[in-house]
Chain A
Amino acid sequence: MVVSILGSQIIGIIPLGDIVFYMTSFNLFMFAAALAFTFIIAISKTETQVEAEFGSLGDREIKVAKKEFKFRRFLAIICGLATAGAMVTGDIFDFTLFVCLIGIVNIGIVGAVKQIDVLDSAFQYGLIAMIASTPLFVGASLILAATGTISILAINSLTYTTPMMLFGSILLFLGVAGETGVAPFFATKAEMFRTPGSPFLLIIHLSSLLVIVRVIEILLIINKPF
């Protein structure tokens, strides 16, 4: 049986009971990209920020202590693995859980810093992420209520689209946008990047980019506009 999702053929599925991972060339590419970036981040060293001192010609170096560095690297690896998992999962509930994990880990990566304004921004981002988990889960459950299944492969073979599915997928998109802190909510997240320890912060950007691309694929599968 040849199944195609959005025009690209399924290369294979990994059946783990109810949890089915499926692979198309699109998913595989993003999965490999997430894993490769996670590997690069895992072996890289942290940067040292240099701040100009106000009113003099001196510079000040901001270094990250080794303990904090290890902790952040661990969280960044978790974030990368969650992103890679969200790329290949064939199950909407799994997808929402991976996205929530990314949100929590993003808070954790900047949670140990010492600057007050970064902590302030992390607090606001955390509030947005917590509020956004409501539309995220509600969207998934509305899709479940409207279609009777959460498997993306099963939804792909449905021939109809009801308004309930459209509403659910809009809520799902809102939830993902809030959880990863993209455009309408980016103001809460922007200040977080001023903290030292750059390579681990990059995974925050990368995860939100990849997850947004993936959620658009899922929404296209659910609503079938073509």
Chain B
Amino acid sequence: MILVPDVVSPVVVAIYSPAVFVGIIVALIGLFGISIEKNDLQVLILTDIVGVAMLIIVAAVGTDLAESLVLPGLVVELAEILAICEILMSREMRKTGKSVALIPTPLNFDMEVLQTAPVFIAVILVIYGAFLSGFTGGAIAGGGILFYVMSLTVRGVPSDLWEGIAGASGIAWCLWITGFLVLFVFPSYWLLGLMLAAFGVFIKVAFKAGLIGVMNREEFRKE
């Protein structure tokens, strides 16, 4: 019984079991580190190594179905590590009674390059992302917007612009979901579904940075 089709080269097939063993060894290294480490933050970072081992073994399968598990696996790892970080932070804040800001305090520099360069870089990234479109383009354009927001934060400039962007992001997300539903429920309208999903995911990923901007505004108010 052989499931691998003939077009796959035997070298690739032979790599599979070494890759699984590498993944298991990586996971064991991570677990060993967790077992001897007593600092909570270090344990959290070491736990991520175990997650990387998971990605290695899943990616070793190498089919498109496996690829469809790599991205959710990565997202799940990130979501869990963020949730546990929040728990750790709020526990430490309760213990010490002090609250900690996520973004560092604004700098008081009066330099022209701080006002012109972020705008230029952000515009270039957004335009390049618009050319790429889809998920990758959205990530690049979002990186540009995020960079702009971060530079605003560091300069300490208050901004009310981002709430509308967050709303647009939510609407684009609905477009994305609708596109997927059209693909699944009415496969004959696939072009409409594809366009809805591609357009929606581009805007959504790009504007996800807007949400971070809204969160940052809480930091501005603190000034």
Instruction: For the complex, give the distance between the alpha carbons of A160 and B3 in Å.
Output: 13
Tell which of B20, B57, B94 has the most Cβ of chain A within 10 Å. Answer: B57
> Is residue A85 contacting chain B, with contact meaning CB distance below 8 A?
no
What chain B residues lie within 8 Å of A108 (beta carbons)?
Answer: 83
Question: Does B125 sit at the interface, judged by CB under 8 A?
Answer: no
Q: Does B68 contact A (CB under 8 A)?
A: yes
Q: What residues on A are CB-neighbors of B60 within 8 Å?
A: 141, 145
**8 Å CB interface, A117-143 against B:** 119-120, 122-123, 126-127, 129-131, 133-134, 137-138, 140-142
Please, how many residues of chain B have a CB less than 8 angstroms from a CB on the other chain? 46
Q: Are B40 and A107 closer than 8 Å at their CB atoms?
A: no
Q: Does A182 sit at the interface, judged by CB under 8 A?
A: no
Residues facing A in B1-60 (CB within 8 A) are 1, 3, 16, 20, 23, 27, 31, 34, 40, 43-44, 47-48, 50-51, 53-54, 57-58, 60
Q: Is B187 an interface residue (CB 8 A)?
A: yes
**Cβ-defined contact, B50 with A131, below 8 A:** yes
* Min CB–CB distance B221 → chain A (angstroms): 18
> How far apart sit A103 and B80, CA to CA, in the bound complex (Å)?
9
Range of interface residues on chain A? 35 or more
Residues of chain B with a CB closer than 8 A to A19's CB: 184
CA–CA, A93 and B67, complex, Å = 11
Check if B84 sits within 8 Å of A126, measured CB to CB.
yes
Most chain A beta carbons < 10 A, residue from B20, B51, B76: B76
Known A93-B69, A133-B76, A134-B50: A123·B84 in contact at CB below 8 Å: yes
Contacts of A183 in B (CB 8 A): none
Q: Are B84 and A119 in contact (CB under 8 A)?
A: no
Nearest Cβ distance between residue B132 and chain A, in whole angstroms? Answer: 26
Report if B72 contacts A (CB, 8 A): yes
A93 and B80 within 8 A (CB):
no
Q: Report the bound CA distance from A114 to B34 in whole Å.
A: 27
With A16-B184, A133-B77 as contacts: A141 and B1 at CB distance below 8 Å: no
Q: Are B51 and A127 in contact (CB under 8 A)?
A: no
User: From B54, which residue of chain A is reached at the shortest CB distance?
Assistant: A134
Q: A170 an interface residue at 8 Å Cβ cutoff?
A: no
Assess the A107–B72 pair: CB atoms within 8 A: no
Interface membership of A1, Cβ < 8 A? no
Residues 82-132 of B at the A interface (beta carbon under 8 Å): 83-84, 86-88, 90-91, 94-95
CB B93 to nearest CB in A, in angstroms, measures 10
Distance (whole angstroms) from the CB of B115 to the closest CB of chain A: 38
| Smallest Cβ-Cβ distance to B76: which chain A residue | A100
List chain A residues, Cβ under 8 A from B58.
Answer: 137-138, 140-141
Query: Are A133 and B87 touching (Cβ within 8 A)?
Result: no
Q: Which residue of A lies closest to B52 (CB)?
A: A134
Beta-carbon contact of B72 and A133 below 8 Å: no
Q: Inside 8 A of B86's CB, which chain A residues have their CB?
A: 111
Task: List the A side residues contacting B88 at CB < 8 Å.
Answer: 123
In the complex with contacts A17-B183, A116-B95, A127-B43, A133-B80 CB distance below 8 A: yes
A131 to B57, CA, bound (A): 14
Find chain B residues with CB under 8 A from A5 CB.
none
Q: From the candidates A107, A137, A150, A160, name the one contacting B83 in the complex (CB within 8 A).
A: A107
A219 beta carbon closer than 8 Å to chain B: no
Cβ–Cβ contact A111 & B57, under 8 A? no
Interface residues of A in 72-113 (CB under 8 A from B): 93, 96-97, 100, 103-104, 107-108, 111-112
Contacts of B48 in A (CB 8 A): 130
CB pair A145–B50 under 8 Å, yes or no, is no
Given the known interface contacts A107-B87, A119-B87, A123-B88, the answer about A134 and B94 at a Cβ–Cβ threshold of 8 Å is: no
5 residue pairs from A and B, CB less than 8 Å apart: A17-B187, A114-B94, A126-B83, A145-B16, A147-B3
Chain B residues proximal to chain A, CB less than 8 Å: 1, 3, 16, 20, 23, 27, 31, 34, 40, 43-44, 47-48, 50-51, 53-54, 57-58, 60-61, 63, 65-66, 68-69, 72-73, 76-77, 79-81, 83-84, 86-88, 90-91, 94-95, 183-185, 187
Closest 8 CB pairs of A and B: A126-B84, A119-B91, A134-B54, A16-B184, A17-B184, A148-B3, A141-B58, A100-B76
